[in-house]
Amino acid sequence: RIAVRKHRSNLPLPPGPVRRPVLGNLFDVPTTSPWLKYLQMSDECGSDIICLKVFGTHIIVTNTLKATINLLERRSLSYSGRPHMTMLNDLMGIKWSLPMMDYSDEWKGGRKMFQHELGSDSVRKYRHVELHEAHRLLGRLLDRPESFVDHIRYLAGATIISIAYGIKVKPHDDPFIKIGEVALHVIASAADAGTYLVDVLPILKHIPDWLPGAKFKRDAVRFRKWTDALLNEPFDVVKESMARGELSDCAAASLYDNFCKDAPDPSSMERVLKSTLGSMFVGGADTTVSTLGTFFLAMVLHPEVQVRAQKEMDAVVGTGRLPNFSDQRSLPYITAILKECLRWNPGLALNFPHCSTSDDVYEGYYIPKGSIVISNLWAILHDEDVYTEPSAFNPDRFMRDTQLNPDLLDPASVAFGFGRRICPGRFMALESMWIVIACVLATFTISKAVDRDGREITPDAEYLPGFLRHSKPFPCTIRPRSKQQEDLISQLTDL
Ligand code: HEM
């Protein structure tokens, strides 16, 4: 049943499921594969924008590119806030981080610093770090191919820690990598909508810690140790290196020189610097893991794609060296694979929620101030009017003749969000993922694992629950393509 409700503004809210008294749509908020359920609601309502109401809060979901761009980009001034999440912001104290920060001058200061280091041009100065970490990944894949997911996670952490803080992590068991992994894990579990009742009823944050129902407060104390460590510990190392005059070639050094050194109020700029670096760490340590995991899965399931990619690689790079960034233009099919990974199984199926900061009217519907606005990225990236057979993994869709087709919607313009809150790490993420995919395809063949009876194991291509999507663990075989490729890796001097 569909409800069209008149609001006091006299205009209807966007349509949505019928509301129950008091609880509203509490039981209509989907917990599994919400992107599919929201799309279904949208079809049932005959509207690309729908509304659910939970305890007085309006949740607006945009299911098409048109509606998303019209709200989050064309009216970005009114749609760039973030909803307040009591568990993360107040109890775990991560309101210092850019993704959680409200639209404010402090947020603008952090974005400016981000842009200064990781903007489309400036990010190029960190290519040597991305290449170095890609090489280290190859070495690890040679030694312990079965742990490929751990290696990708290590790569993501090591890359961002090096770029942000100039810290070269240890080859194994690095304490900063550990901090990143645990902090990201606790943030992800606290961010999952519906995990903590205190997010729905913020008043609960005042109940005493010892009450049986106050487990969330004890969780928050435990979690906060890790998120505080993420913010403070690498920054302490930066300060020590700076005091010794040894900090260079990283975002911390460059931002300190450009924003803090001669600032009228250096200590307040240093606070922004610290939280910006922490935001790089938070944003960068787990996101690329999701898309690179999808890449390994896709290669196992689609050997024909891998064969074609390796043919392109051999024709351009040959077999006597590894690819580097200067090969990018000559390797369009490798780029097409990355685009298809972002589209086929986007890291975030639903965009990080925005919050509207003024009343608005869109296509005759009333959108009240304070609404939570969620864009259904998965629905946009699986729109069959744009991408034929959207559930198929087919990088060729991005090719025209032998080049990239500029007319097909680039998944990167969707998967990283929209408007003023668009992911500021996207250029770095794209560069880092591209070089990893290129280096892996140049040196290894990824294929199905076989069971004890010699039968191939086909992964079921399922994903774990959570707002950041990681594929369920699957076995696969990762072997060097030839002795020559194995030697190329063993001879790398920067491992
Ligand atoms: C495949 C990799 C990645 C994906 C799919 C991704 C996706 C996203 C998305 C969808 C958002 C929300 C945008 C919005 O609200 O409209 C976001 C925000 C953000 N991302 Fe990424 N991201 C990736 C990598 C990174 C990296 C490598 C960094 C850091 C270097 C980063 C840092 C951030 C930050 C700080 C925000 C919050 C921005 C704000 O609220 O102003 N991300 N990302």
Q: Rounded CA gap, 238 and 444, in Å?
A: 37
- 151 membership: H or E segment, kind and range: helix 148-165
Chain segment 124-146, per-residue pLDDT in tens: 999 999 999 999 999 999 999 99
* Residue 54 near residue 369 (C-beta atoms within 8 A): no
Is 121's pLDDT higher than 80?
Answer: yes
CB 96 less than 6 A from any atom of ligand 1? no
**pLDDT attached to residue 57:** 87
Find residue 400's DSSP bridge partners. 403
Q: Model confidence at 201, in pLDDT bands (50, 70, 90)?
A: low
Q: Mean pLDDT over residues 107-111, rounded?
A: 96
3-class secondary structure, 323? coil
418 CA: nearest ligand 1 atom: 16
Q: Under DSSP, is residue 209 helix (H, G, I), strand (E, B) or coil?
A: coil
- 421 C-beta closer than 6 A to ligand 1: yes
Closest CA to 165 of 232, 98, 99: 232
- Distance (Å) from CA 416 to ligand 1 centroid: 6
Q: What percent of the chain has pLDDT over 90?
A: 78
How far does the centroid of ligand 1 lie from the alpha carbon of residue 347, in Å? Answer: 10
Looking at the predicted structure, is the pLDDT value of residue 214 above 70?
A: no
The closest residue, in CA terms, to atom 8 on ligand 1 is 416
Give the mean model confidence (pLDDT) for residues 436-462: 96
Model pLDDT, residue 186: 84
3-state secondary structure of 460: coil
**Of 20-24, 30-34, 36-40, 183-187, minimum mean pLDDT range:** 20-24
Atom of ligand 1 nearest to the CA of 114: 35
Whose Cα sits closest to atom 32 in ligand 1?
Answer: 283
Supply the residue whose CA is at minimum distance from atom 7 of ligand 1: 416
Give the pLDDT confidence of 347-388 residue by residue, as tens digits: 999 999 999 999 999 999 999 999 999 999 999 999 999 999
For 78-105, how does the pLDDT look when each residue is reduced to its tens digit (9 = 90+)?
999 998 888 788 878 888 999 999 999 9
- Confidence category of residue 45, pLDDT binned at 50, 70, 90: very high
Question: 411: Cβ below 6 Å to ligand 1?
Answer: no
pLDDT the model gives residue 199: 63
Residue where the block lists tokens 């079921």 = 460
Annotated binding site for heme: 423
pLDDT over 60 (residue 308): yes
Q: What is the pLDDT of residue 55?
A: 80
pLDDT recorded at residue 193: 55
Task: State whether the beta carbon of 375 lies less than 6 angstroms from ligand 1.
Answer: no
The verdict on the CB of residue 293 being under 6 Å from ligand 1 is: no
416 Cβ below 6 A of ligand 1: yes
Q: What is the pLDDT of residues 388-401, one digit of tens each?
A: 999 999 999 999 99
68 lines ligand 1 (CB under 6 A): no
Nearest CA to ligand 1 atom 41: 421
Q: Which of 100, 108, 355, 416 to mutate for ligand 1's pocket (most ligand atoms within 8 Å of CB)?
A: 416
Cβ distance 304 to 393 under 8 Å? no
Does the structure show a pLDDT above 60 at 253? yes
CB 164 within 8 A of CB 235: no
Structure tokens at 363: 């296509």
Q: What is the pLDDT of residue 202?
A: 64
Atom 38 (ligand 1): residue with closest C-alpha?
A: 99
Q: 67-80, pLDDT tens digit by residue? A: 999 999 999 999 99
> Residues 25-44: what's their mean pLDDT?
90
Of the pLDDT bands very low, low, confident and very high (cuts 50, 70, 90), residue 208 is low
pLDDT of residue 91: 78
pLDDT at 113: 97
Q: What is the pLDDT of residues 180-200, one digit of tens each?
A: 999 988 888 777 655 555 565
Asked whether 424 lines ligand 1 (CB < 6 A), one says yes
From ligand 1's centre to the CA of 207, what distance in Å? 34
Structure tokens at 209: 């810690």
- CA 284 / ligand 1 centre spacing (Å): 8
CA 59/CA 181 separation, integer angstroms: 31
Average pLDDT, the chain: 92
Note the helical H segments in 50-100. 65-68
Give the residue whose CA is nearest to atom 43 of ligand 1: 423
